[in-house]
Amino acid sequence: MMKRLRKNGFLAFVVIAYIGLFIINKEKAILSIKNSGYYIKEMLTVMPLVFLLTALIDTWIPQETIMDYLGDGSGVKGSFISIFLGSISAGPIYAAFPVCKTLLRKGASIFNIVVILSSWAVIKIPMLANEARFLSPKFMAIRWVFTTIGIIIMGYMVSKVVKRDDIPIEEEAIEHGKILIKEEYCIGCGICAKIAPGYFEIENNRAIAIDENIHGGVDDDVDKAEEKCPTRAIAISK
């Protein structure tokens, strides 16, 4: 029970807030529930499509492609692609989060994720078209230039402060005392086998753990292999 409450802490907080509001001001509580209902309805119409899109990215776009075009080494090309992806997107910003999480899991860099999210939020093409109509093309163009510069600076700053390990990407439960190689993320680069040959080897272009059990503490080499794996395919439960 406590574990569940901890896991759904925010939801529990919202329920308590509603109960409190009901006691203090019934009218406002009803209005608030109506507003929440509106957003829940909107989410229910948008999210199935979003999950379909994330499933398609997961299944059809190879990890190498995402790493090449949006990964840490994608450079200016990655920035352009990220701005483009964010700008042509449709739907509310919360729809971007599951998509970005999937891209991140498949090797996109933090920098590019920030650029996609920010472009999605503030320089979407339909938004620019309306802006030009109501506030003039000049206003729209100048705002676009400064906003894009701001997005790039923000992406750089966030990528310096937030690291992959700060983001809860892992969803698989790892058994205690085990080394897990997530096959779907492994690109068979062989880095792990070079760093920790006693623990990893490459078979059919994928890494396998020679011995998946950790005996008496994790070897430094295994830690290093986990850290250096470019796709975060190695997970260790210590």
Binding site for ligand SF4 (CB under 6 A): 181, 186-192, 207, 229-231, 233-234
Cβ proximity of 224 and 192 under 8 Å: no
C-beta of 191 vs 222, nearer to ligand SF4: 191
DSSP letter string over 59-101?
Answer: HHS-HHHHHHHHSTT-HHHHHHHHHHHHHH--S-GGGHHHHHH
C-beta of 106 vs 124, nearer to ligand SF4: 106
- For the CB of residue 133, give the shortest distance to ligand SF4 in the complex, in Å: 48
- For the CB of residue 202, give the shortest distance to ligand SF4 in the complex, in Å: 6
- For the CB of residue 238, give the shortest distance to ligand SF4 in the complex, in Å: 18
- For 146, half-sphere exposure in the C-beta direction (CA atoms, 13 angstrom radius) is 5
Per-residue tokens: 179: 């080394």
C-beta of 126 vs 190, nearer to ligand SF4: 190
- For the CB of residue 222, give the shortest distance to ligand SF4 in the complex, in Å: 11
Contacts of 172 (CB under 8 A, 6+ apart): 180, 182, 235
C-beta of 124 vs 232, nearer to ligand SF4: 232
